[in-house]
Amino acid sequence: MLARRIIPCLDVAGGRVVKGVKFLDLKDAGDPVEVARRYDREEADELVFLDITASHEQRGTIIDVVSRTAEQVFMPLTVGGGVRTVDDIRALLKAGADKVSINTAAVFRPEFVREAAERFGSQCTVVAIDARAVPGSPGKWEVYTHGGRKTTGIDAVEWAARMEEYGAGEILLTSMDRDGTRDGYDIPLTRAISDRVGIPVIASGGVGNLQHLADGLTAGGADAVLAASIFHYGEYTVAQARDFLRDRGIPVRPRTAVPAI
Amino acid sequence: MSPKSAAIGVVDYGMGNLRSVGKALESLGFPVAVTSDVSVLDGCRGVVLPGVGAFRDCMDNLRKGGLLPFLSDYLASDRPFLGICLGLQLLFSESEEFGRHEGLGFLPGKVVRFPAGMTEPRQGGGERRLKIPHMGWNRIDVTLEHPVLEGIPSGSHFYFVHSYFVAPADRSVVAATSSYGIDFTAAVASGNRLAVQFHPEKSQSAGLRLLSNFGRLSREAG
């Protein structure tokens, strides 16, 4: 049986890991390559680097981070943030990324997702959706861009279905209402999108404890759970998360019994 | 015959992430040549055919790069060979991905898509739709002894990402299976050749074990 995935996320700015609440108040939290190595030792199932570098001059730093990570860590690596052109994707894949995540650029020009999928394959084309509940309309969520700052008026569930049609191989779904709150994933949102699309959905935004991961996978129906701060600050290891999920009957990867050499 | 190099050749035909498999082998102490040059590949002790992307594009790129005759000869020679993902699928006669396309035809059989509408029981009742691509870590069951699978028991987990799988006409080449809605072939082997549907270069210690086995086989038999 396919294991549900546990995915630590590293927000990277100017080549350093940072963490803030709702994309604000960023704090320096270490060297991404070192942090990636730690998650590799803990046998995380995948890693996500989200490049939130603001200044144009520092945009190249993520390529170097990906390249150094891919030399030392042999696990699936997704990179998102500022992916706007086919050349951006090619550069990230060449540096050693396995998947790239497209967000704002997909909203501006959905054809970009189709071009990416046709050129590089759906398997490496992730569409990231930042969604927020529409006030006064239960069961409705809207797509936001620019790190959650700009509204688009697009329905998030319809958007996910459209991105699947355009060739997305996976949806990385972040609740902007929950991101940084530690109140847990937006379960109705996660379930609505996971039920709607036939591609895997990664739940993101709001994890404060291990029960939240379990909820995302069961009630939320997600295929994978993404979390940043609970792993980053050492509250829980990935191994603890895996044991917790296994004890609740959720299929996860067993701790490996195969030594590398 | 070209002069022997100590390297393992990774066939570069302009697709996907070729860096990872090379880096993984290098991290294990095996020199690597990532190249599209047939004479360099022919001098290597072992050849890895990686691959991501679409079947037809890969075949087109191999053809344009003049690599098809080399691969056919190399496969026929029983020198150490490792196919990964599309590098497994390309060994077969044909694929139904985006129409019907001919492969290398080294093994009889087809590359087919996971059927739509597969489900599994949902925790707490009901059915859960199985997503395609099959993406993530899944267990393999080893069905054939092979030096490249040494030390990798059934139940080991590897990282998969694919929507198509191989259906060999001759089941005796099946070296490992996995299950996603249906049972499918996770690896085939014959002689010094092994090809896998999963990504050893992305499968942490289990994957590094497989690559290290391949490196040693290449050193000994290549």
Per-residue pLDDT of chain B (222 residues; tens, 9 = 90+): 455 788 999 999 876 667 889 999 999 999 999 999 999 999 999 999 997 777 888 899 999 999 999 999 999 999 999 999 999 999 999 998 878 889 999 999 999 999 988 988 887 778 888 999 999 999 999 999 999 999 999 999 999 999 999 999 999 999 999 999 999 999 999 999 999 999 999 999 999 999 999 999 999 988
Contact between chains at B133 and A40 (C-beta distance less than 8 A): no
Is the CB of B205 less than 8 angstroms away from the CB of A71? no
Lowest mean pLDDT among A118-122, A201-205, B151-155: A118-122
- In B, which residues are within 8 Å of A201 by CB distance? 131
pLDDT of residue B1: 47
What pLDDT sits at residue A260? 57
Half-sphere exposure of B27 (CA within 13 A, CB side): 22
Question: What is the pLDDT at residue B3?
Answer: 56
Min Cα distance B42 → chain A (Å) is 25
Average pLDDT across chain A, whole number: 91
Q: Mean pLDDT over residues A25-48, rounded?
A: 87
The three-state (H, E, C) secondary structure of chain B, written as one string: CCCCCCCEEEECCCCCCCHHHHHHHHHCCCCEEEECCHHHHHCCCEEEECCCCCHHHHHHHHHHCCCHHHHHHHHHCCCCEEEECHHHHCCEEEECCCCCEECCCCEEEEEEECCCCCEEECCCCCEEECCCCEEEEEECEECCCCHHHCCCCCCCEEEEEECEEEEECCHHHEEEEEEECEEEEEEEEECCEEEECCCHHHCHHHHHHHHHHHHHHHHHHC
Assess whether pLDDT exceeds 60 at residue A6.
yes
Q: Does A145 touch chain B (CB under 8 A)?
A: no
Candidate from A125-134, A200-209, B124-133 with smallest mean pLDDT: B124-133
Q: Report the C-alpha gap between B182 and B170 in whole angstroms.
A: 19
Contact A261 B157 (CB under 8 A): no
pLDDT of residue A131: 97
From chain B, pick out residues whose CB is under 8 angstroms from the CB of A37.
none
The four Cα atoms B37, B43, B47, B52 give a dihedral, to 10 degrees, of: -10
Residue to mutate among B157, B162, B163, with most A CBs inside 10 A, is B157
Tell me what pLDDT residue A261 has.
55
Q: Residues 152-171, chain A: which have Cβ within 8 Å of B?
A: 169-170
The partner residue sitting opposite B138, judged by closest CB among A3, A198, A200, is A3
Instruction: Choose, from B44, B58, B134, B201, the residue flagged as catalytic.
Output: B201
Nearest by CB to A40, from B151, B156, B204: name it. Answer: B204
State the pLDDT confidence band at A25, using cuts at 50, 70 and 90. low
The pLDDT of residue A141 is 98
CB contact under 8 A, A45 and B53: no
B28–A261 C-beta distance less than 8 A: yes
Please provide the distance, in angstroms rounded to a whole number, between the alpha carbons at the two ends of chain B: 13
In one-letter notation, the amino acid at residue A237 is T
Task: Tell me which chain B residues have a C-beta less than 8 angstroms from the C-beta of A258.
Answer: 151-153, 156, 205-206, 209
Spell out the domain ranges in chain B: 8-221
Q: Which two tokens stand for residue B20?
A: 């990872």
- A51-110 residue pLDDT tens: 988 677 777 899 999 999 999 999 999 999 999 999 999 999 989 999 999 999 999 999
Which of B10, B12, B19, B214 is the best substitution to test chain A (most A C-beta atoms within 10 A)? B19
Note the pLDDT of residue A132: 97
For the question of residue B85 being annotated catalytic, the response is: yes
The structure tokens listed for B109 are 């059989």
* CB nearest A94 (choices: B19, B27, B124): B19
Q: pTM for the full model?
A: 0.94
The CATH code for residues B8-221 is 3.40.50.880
| pLDDT tens-digit series, residues A156-173 | 999 999 999 999 999 999
Distance from CA of A75 to the nearest CA of B (A): 4
Contact list in B for residue A200 (CB cut-off 8 A) is 131, 133, 135-136
**End-to-end CA gap in chain A:** 26
Residue A138 has pLDDT above 80, yes or no: yes
Task: Tell me what the mean pLDDT of segment A231-255 comes to.
Answer: 93
**What's the whole-number mean pLDDT along residues A208-227?**
97
Instruction: For residue A154, give the 3-state DSSP assignment.
Output: strand
ipTM of the complex: 0.91
Min Cα distance B1 → chain A (Å) is: 32
Q: How many alpha carbons lie under 13 Å from residue A35 in its C-beta half-sphere?
A: 27
**pLDDT for the residue numbered A229:** 87
Q: Report chain B residues whose CB lies below 8 A from the CB of A4.
A: 136
- Tell if the CB–CB gap between B23 and A71 is shorter than 8 Å: yes
- Which residues numbered 162-221 in A keep a CB inside 8 Å of some CB on B? 169-170, 197-201, 218, 221
pLDDT number for residue B69: 96
Question: What are the residues whose beta carbons fall under 8 Å from the beta carbon of B145, sequence distance 6 or more?
Answer: none
3-class SS of residue A230: helix
A vs B: CB pairs below 8 A:
135
Q: A93: nearest CA in chain B?
A: B17
Asked if A15 and A64 touch (Cβ cutoff 8 Å), the reply is yes
- Kindly report the nearest CA distance between residue A156 and chain B, in angstroms: 19
Among the listed ranges A14-18, A61-65, A180-184, A223-227, which one has the minimum average pLDDT value?
Answer: A14-18
Does the beta-carbon distance from B206 to A258 stay under 8 Å?
yes
Contact with chain B for residue A115, Cβ under 8 A: no
Q: What is the pLDDT of residue A28?
A: 67
* Local confidence band at A22 (pLDDT 50, 70, 90 cut-offs): very low
On the 0-12 / 13-18 / 19+ scale of CB atoms within 10 A, A250 is middle
Q: What is the pLDDT of residue B134?
A: 95
Residue type, B192: N
Q: Identify the pLDDT of residue A258.
A: 62
- The per-residue pLDDT for A259 is 63
Closest CA–CA distance from residue B185 to any residue of chain A (Å) = 14
